[in-house]
Amino acid sequence: MSPSMIIGTAFASILASKLRSSLTLLGVVIGVTSVIALMSIGRGAQDSITSRISAQGAELLFVNVNFASSDAQSLTLDDALAISSASSAPDVHRVAASLSAGNAEISLGATALTTNATGITPEYLAVNGYDLASGRGISPADLIARTDVAILGSNLAENLFPGQEATGLQFSVNGRLYTVAGVLEPVGGFTRVDDQLFVPITTAESRLVGDAAPGETLNVSQILVQAADAESVDAAAEQTDVVLRLQHGLSFSETADFSISNSAGIAETLEETTDVLVIFLGVVGGISLIVGGIGIMNIMLVSVTERTREIGIRRAIGARRTAVLLQFLAEATVLSIGGGLLGILAGTLITDQFSGVQFLNTTFDAQMSFDIASLAMLVAAGIGLVAGIYPAARAASLDPIDALRHE
């Protein structure tokens, strides 16, 4: 039999049992749709996370406490001030420090909210690339006076003061009145900056974290160091390491009680981590494809049983075992490829529906790519082929005489 005749006969056999073939096809369609939709959404989430980190610039360094060190001690505001000294670290452009103050109870009239509060230094917004929609940032005078002022994320400002210009208005934080100094432009991303409250780091230490008195050492959660440019990152990291070792009384042979990482490295690590997530989502969708393959094998086994006499007649008039084998393999492949094509169409439609959807203040751009569609199609065709091998081999191995006797 010629290839065109084999394929034509395969279509005729499939159309002879429309309902059964349609249900089998549906299993493959669901499997391919699942693979495409899950992997596309996962890749959209991956791009959103890594782009936000990359947007901070390759010149940004993150200094944190190294808890793996047996002599770990807290980072302090004095550490940040020492790094910012031009003579100590000439390749450092800006330095900012932050202090996580945990959840804060915010209220205004009948509105009551709980959100994350962070104490920051004046350079914090510039280092992170956050822009002000209105008002001003934290000033050095705010740190000295421990002023009760705050900068609001865009969502927080809208929730507290819907339809109003929030700058200059007052609200309550843990029962104490604060004045809105400024409101941030929307940021988005998984950091939830749009819902956060920012106050002077000294205010956070004395009002929200503890009751530290003026003059006491002020511990910080993290220090952000911005290099002069991308080419100066390594030099800035080395200078930061030297300054902090001197600050903490560490020799260069000792294990540092702090760690220094850059945004490019973090973005790369996150991309590797989310690659695993995307693969996992693909495997989850692939399970549906396996179920579809089992459906194909089932219908092909039933077809062999129902067409035993037909197979006997073909063999009796000269059809070779290879022809019978190819006939049933062709039917299984047509089902899998047909289901794969319909699955690609359905997956594209679902992906388009998710593209632009906001989740946790993040807009997902879940667009299907050629490699995802190709992978899903190849897996579908492969599963269909594998699922058809046993029924086809069984059909080809039937004895013509026994097949003709079959009722």
Among the residue ranges 155-169, 183-197, 302-316, the one predicted with the least confidence is 302-316
Query: Which of 65-69, 79-83, 365-369 has the weakest average pLDDT?
Result: 365-369
In this prediction, residues 80-100 reach a mean pLDDT of 88
Which of the pair, 183 or 232, is modelled with greater confidence? 183
Task: Report whether pLDDT(200) > 90.
Answer: yes
Q: How confident is the model at residue 166 (pLDDT cuts 50, 70, 90)?
A: very high
Rounded mean pLDDT of 79-108?
89
Which residue in this structure is represented by tokens 């393959």?
293
pTM value surpassing 0.85: no
Mean pLDDT of the chain: 80
> What pLDDT does residue 393 have?
76
The more confidently predicted of residues 403 and 263 is 263
Does the pLDDT of residue 95 top 90, yes or no?
Answer: yes
pLDDT of 11: 73
**Does pLDDT of 267 surpass 70?**
no
Residue 231 DSSP one-character state: G
Least reliable range by pLDDT among 57-66, 153-162, 198-207: 57-66
Mean pLDDT of 34-53: 71
**E-strand stretches of 38-159:** 60-65, 75-76, 92-108, 111-120, 132-135, 149-152
Q: Where are the beta strands (DSSP E) in 168-296?
A: 170-173, 176-184, 197-200, 219-220, 222-227, 258-262
Please report which confidence band the pLDDT of residue 361 belongs to, taking 50, 70 and 90 as the band edges: low
- pLDDT of res. 70: 54
**pLDDT for 159:** 92
For residue 172, the model assigns a pLDDT of: 94
Q: What is the pLDDT of residue 24?
A: 78
Compare 374 and 130 and report the one with higher pLDDT.
Answer: 130
Which of 85, 112, 84, 111 has the alpha carbon at shortest distance from 96? 84
77-86, 173-182, 322-331: the lowest-pLDDT one: 322-331
> How far is residue 299's CA from residue 388's CA, in Å, rounded to a whole number?
9
DSSP 256: P
CA distance 326 to 10: 10
Integer angstrom CA distances of residue 174 from 154, 157, 217:
20, 17, 24
Length reported for the chain: 407
What per-residue confidence (pLDDT) applies to 105? Answer: 93
Q: What share of the chain is helix, strand, coil (3-state, %, to 5)?
A: 55, 20, 25
Q: What are phi and psi of 115, to 5 degrees?
A: -145, 170
Rounded average pLDDT over 194-210: 91
